Amino acid sequence: MDERTKDILKNRLDEENYQKLTQIDNPRVHECIAKYVELGNPRSVFVCTDSAEDIRYISEKAIRNGEESELAMEGHTVHFDSYDDQARDKQHTIILVPQGVDLGQIIRTKDRQGSLDEIHEIFKDLMKGKELYVRFFCLGPTNSEFSVLCLQLTDSSYVAHSEDLLYRQGYQEFIRQGRDARFFKFVHSAGRLDERNVSTNFHQRRIYIDISDDIVYSTNTQYGGNTIGLKKLAMRLAINRASQEGWLTEHMLVMGIHGPHDRVTYFTGAFPSLCGKTSTAMLDGETIVGDDIAYLRKIDGEIRAVNVEKGLFGIIQGINSQDDPLQWKALHSPNEIIFSNVLVTEGGGTHWIGRDGEVPPRGHNHSGEWYIGKKDAQGREITCSHPNGRFTIQLKALENLDPTLDDPAGVTVSGVVYGGRDSDTSVPVEESFDWVHGIITKGASLESETTAATLGQEGIRAFNPMSNIDFLSIPIGKYIQDNLNIGRNLQNPPLIFSVNYFLKGKEGKFLNEKNDKKIWYKWMELRVHTDVPAIESPTGRMPMYEDLKRLFQEILGEEYRQEDYDRQFTVRVPENLAKIERIKKIYQTQVSDTPKILFEILEKQKLRLEKTREQFGDYVLPEKLLS
């Protein structure tokens, strides 16, 4: 390292932590740490290696400094964010771009140099009086073609502890790769904390992603979606790198669906927040590789995927013993778990919206002391837990963990699934005609009604291609083309499906039960292996009634009625045509680099729908399509 870097580190770190850094022969690592130690001006610096002792120091520090509190069950802790810091801050999450670079009007960007000046001014002395934790991690399995190394600097022991549960340790990988290591950088400060140890200066809450330097800045926030750098913030950096190198970074679960004769078929799936993603990945009887982020590469003529993470940062609302037995068991066992923004009851128990049992009359939550009927400053009733309350846990705590989690080669992807909140248009499950049709009509055309997982108004139908729009760092058209390209020249590309768990009838009630998704995935697994036929509709291929009836009986032990099938799988021509027009307008007016094939595929779908309407009317029963 150069003399200036050496002087800063020698003066600001004790000998033990300095020696930990010198084990890594990479000047860029040392320079980055020295720069932000000098700028943030922490009281002390702790360099965390992969040792159990160092990792334990982080979790114990989170208790001692009050960012987490111990609960009654062994290993369980709770963290509270500020009442105004409960979701991803989309308004202040911004991609920094140099002059002359245009990512399109949908992606939020700012001038790079001016924003760097601003964020460095905010960071000045922001860590004063606190300890800085220096962390080394690996996204994806270590020693793999998929591996991406990461350096995290944070003054929040909660953030550092969360990342221990979520990501693979990387200190030894940094040592092994030395000067060849190419890594992402994350710099976070929770800023000034109040008496509850939560962030306060939200007027200076910033989440800036500098794709030119592979670095993310996060200030004056603690909520995991804004601060756990290796999660959605790293996605922006990885999407940019993947686009340059010909692979994909996707907002996708990875899971194994178990079929006949001990067959395991691997699927990826993209869902916006609060759309059933984690509950899908956790289906009992199936195995989970990952629930949130996947890297996909074309290797030896097939698409392979890995889980970027080793843990879950899951939404806890609605988890109950009947619908979510695997998660329920893990959450009630002595595992290492961080609960966030749930209700803590007397005696150190927890409760959340949708949990088994009566809501306790009082307790402690993100609003402070809580009781039934408590209202916020705007007169709105405060629920026992926040709708976006979370839990952070290692996947190894789950009984349905797939054995391929850490396989450096990943898994072969046989099916890709896209799903969102759609109350009136799409059928519960449908297969695309081919790769291009699926990417365009299922992925690039994905819409979803907004939820509490992001700041803003709920219930608005939001355009969200591949469920990844919030995390894109490249133009949308380029991103769609990247998805089209990865499926080219494959002898047997994965099948692409759509699912819709939120279809409603005329009376406004859901047409599906929560566990019906088990059937949709079993049917998709059979389709991958051409074990069952399908009905050709104008928008894709749908299940036959008899196949679903058999699966409902075999899997759920339930009778599946013809009238339920008809209501669920009716082709809704007006709604589908309206969706095509909405999507076309967005790509015509807001995306300047839309691939021409998108409009061609949508126009063909429009013509098929219009022809169907001429033959059968606006609402078409599946049996009509067989005639």
Say what the pLDDT of residue 279 is. 84
19 & 136 share domain: yes
Average pLDDT over residues 65-79: 97
Last residue of a domain, one of 229, 246, 263: 246
Q: Of the candidates 425, 428, 445, which has an alpha carbon nearest to the alpha carbon of residue 436?
A: 445
Cβ proximity of 149 and 184 under 8 Å: yes
Letter string b/e over residues 286-298, b meaning 16 or more CB atoms within 10 A of that residue's CB: bbbbbbbbbbbbb
267/323 same-domain check: no
pLDDT score of 455: 46
Distance, CA of 220 to CA of 216 (rounded, Å): 14
Give the CATH number for residue 271.
3.90.228.20
Active-site residue identified among 48, 138, 275, 384: 275
Asked whether residue 72 carries a pLDDT value surpassing 60, the answer given is yes
The enclosing domain of 385 has a CATH number of 2.170.8.10
Report the C-alpha gap between 402 and 254 in whole angstroms. 10
Identify the DSSP state of 468: -
Does 301 score more than 60 pLDDT?
Answer: yes
Tokens of 487: 């499926």
Tell me what pLDDT residue 323 has: 84
The CATH code of the domain that includes 160 is 3.40.449.10
Q: Is the dihedral of CA 82, 86, 90, 91 positive or negative?
A: negative
Given a cut of 90, whether residue 244 has pLDDT beyond it is yes
pLDDT in tens, 409-459: 999 999 999 999 999 999 999 999 999 999 999 999 999 987 555 545 556
Neighbours of 114 (CB within 10 A): 10
Reply yes or no on whether 384 is catalytic.
no
Q: Do 281 and 389 lie in a common domain?
A: no
pLDDT for the residue 457? 58
**d(C-alpha 87, C-alpha 198), whole Å:** 14
494 pLDDT exceeds 70?
Answer: yes
pTM beyond cutoff 0.85: yes
Share of the chain above pLDDT 70, in %: 99
pLDDT at 480: 98
The runs of H, that is alpha helices, within 424-475 are 435-438
Amino acid type, 301: G
pLDDT in tens, 559-583: 999 999 999 999 999 999 999 999 9
Residue 456: per-residue pLDDT:
54
Render pLDDT for 354-399 as a digit per residue (tens, 0 to 9): 999 999 999 999 999 999 999 999 999 999 999 999 999 999 999 9
Instruction: Answer yes or no: do 349 and 449 share one domain.
Output: no
Which of 397, 419, 442 is at the close of a domain?
397
pLDDT tens digits, one per residue of 516-540: 999 999 999 999 999 999 999 999 9
User: What is the rounded average pLDDT of the residues 551-564?
Assistant: 97
- 3-class SS at 611? helix
In a shared domain, residues 162 and 64: yes
Q: What DSSP designation does 513 have?
A: -
Query: For the chain, what is the mean pLDDT?
Result: 95
Number of domains comprising the chain = 3
Domain end, chosen from 357, 380, 397, is at: 397
Q: In this structure, are 328 and 419 located in the same domain?
A: no
Q: Domain of residue 57: give its range.
A: 3-246
Residues 86 and 141 in one domain: yes
Average pLDDT over residues 265-280: 90
Nearest of 266, 216, 270, 214 to residue 242 by alpha carbon: 214
Question: CA 369 to CA 285: how far, in whole Å?
Answer: 40
178 with 230, same domain? yes
- Single-letter residue type at 449: E
Q: Is the pLDDT of residue 157 over 80?
A: yes
